[in-house]
A = this chain, B = another copy of it.
Amino acid sequence: MKKLINDPLRVVDDMLEGFVAAHSRQVRRIPGTNVIVRKDAPVKGKVGIVSGGGSGHEPAHAGYVGKGMLDAAVCGEVFTSPTPDQILSAIQAVDGGNGVLLIIKNYTGDVMNFEMAAELAEAEGIRIAKVIVNDDVAVEDSTFTTGRRGIAGTVFVHKIAGALAERGASLEEVEAAAKKAIQRVRSMGVAISPCIVPAAGTPGFVLGENEMEVGIGIHGEPGIEKVSVQPAEHVADGLLARIVEDMKLDQGDQVAVMINGLGATPLMELYIVHKRVAERLAEKQIRIHETFVGEYMTSLEMAGCSISLLKLDDELIDLLRSPADTVAFKTC
């Protein structure tokens, strides 16, 4: 295992120290926790937005803390749900008096722990709403999940909900916008090489020399099939076809596209994938309004990518384009 780390059991703590040192004008860490909050939290009167999950998906989720997106990110150990007490600390820190929305990726552990934290917060008189993101169309049930998994499309949900909350909308309104985004976002990914969880020290799965896994999860959970590595055009076609079919996209529809690198895939390759995605959508007369190409939700040093599509309407276009100023997502 070759990694630029100190102690495999201390990677999350070291990372968060580095993160806060780098971005101390924008964020702070709640002492004694792995919770990163906006520097100015709680913002009085604003609905607070909390997300999080296992670490190893950077820049998710701490990179999305800031104006126009999240108020707090709760960072679990690598690929491990954060505990309810940590989530509760985040909720308490960002509650500005008008309630807190929890954006949860659909993994059994995450859902359970966020729900326990929600109950504890409600017992303290804090109003809570919860949404669960399940954008991954690859498989219905998986290693850590009942139902579909939540992957990179979650970042769109952060942006939509965060933009509306920033405008002073109510908890019900912000929750409704987040649910609308969830209903309209779909993703699917492929891996060509695995990653190593530091504390484990060995790859989470094995691929042959010329093999890739279609439908992989962001923790290396099995996908649909292992196949020979294909040209980028075929990979893009395969992922896109499943997404478009599942969303029932039709000509005249408008979308946002995210080509997300899983960690070790060069930006060059992500753009090569996007070339085909843009061509295919143009053929189908589906209009791309906004495109995001880069690393938004990674799996440590896994190589591969996911494609996410968000079906837009005027409200979502407006929210997607409204200002955001976080470490990893800026709309000037």
**A266: CB under 8 A from chain B?**
yes
Among A2, A18, A303, chain B packs the most CB atoms within 10 A around the CB of A18
Which chain B residue shows the least CB distance to A63?
Answer: B267
Among A53-61, A94-102, A165-173, the one that faces the other chain is: A53-61
Contact of A229 among B2, B232, B271 (CB under 8 A): B2
Q: Are A274 and B21 in contact (CB under 8 A)?
A: yes
Chain A positions 261-299 with a Cβ under 8 Å from a chain B Cβ:
263-276, 278-279, 288, 291-293, 295, 298
Mark the stretch among A4-12, A27-35, A130-138, A150-158 that contacts chain B: A4-12
Tell me whether A267 and B58 are in contact (CB under 8 A): yes
Closest chain B residue, CB of each to CB of A6: B231
Give the size range of A's interface with the partner.
Answer: 35 or more
Q: A309 at interface (Cβ–Cβ under 8 A)?
A: no
Which residues in B have their C-beta under 8 angstroms from that of A212?
2
State whether B235 touches A271 (Cβ < 8 A): no
Give A193 to B2 CA distance when docked, in angstroms.
Answer: 8
A229 to B3, CA, bound (A): 8
Q: Which residues of B contact A5 (CB under 8 A)?
A: 231-232, 269, 272
Q: How far is the CA of A259 from the CA of B26 in the complex (A)?
A: 18
In the complex, the chain B residue whose C-beta lies closest to that of A211 is: B2
For residue A44, CB closer than 8 A to chain B, the reply is no
Asked if A15 CB lies within 8 Å of chain B CBs, one says yes
For A231, list chain B residues within 8 Å (CB).
Answer: 5-7
Known: A22-B291, A303-B301, A332-B332. A273 touches B58 (CB 8 A): no
CA of A265 to CA of B302 in the docked complex: distance in angstroms?
A: 10
Instruction: List residues of chain B with CB within 8 A of the CB of A305.
Output: 4
- CB neighbours (8 Å) of A293 from chain B are 18-19, 22
Asked if B268 contacts A56 (CB within 8 A), the reply is yes
User: With A4-B232, A22-B271 given, can you name 6 additional A-B contacts, CB distance below 8 Å?
Assistant: A5-B231, A15-B268, A18-B270, A18-B271, A18-B276, A58-B268
Chain A positions within 8 Å of B, measured between CB atoms, are: 2-7, 11, 14-19, 21-23, 55-56, 58-59, 63, 192-193, 210, 212, 229, 231-233, 235, 257, 259, 263-276, 278-279, 288, 291-293, 295, 298, 300-301, 303-305, 323, 325, 330, 332
List the 6 shortest-distance A-B pairs measured between CB atoms, nearest first. Answer: A18-B271, A18-B275, A264-B264, A21-B278, A58-B267, A22-B291
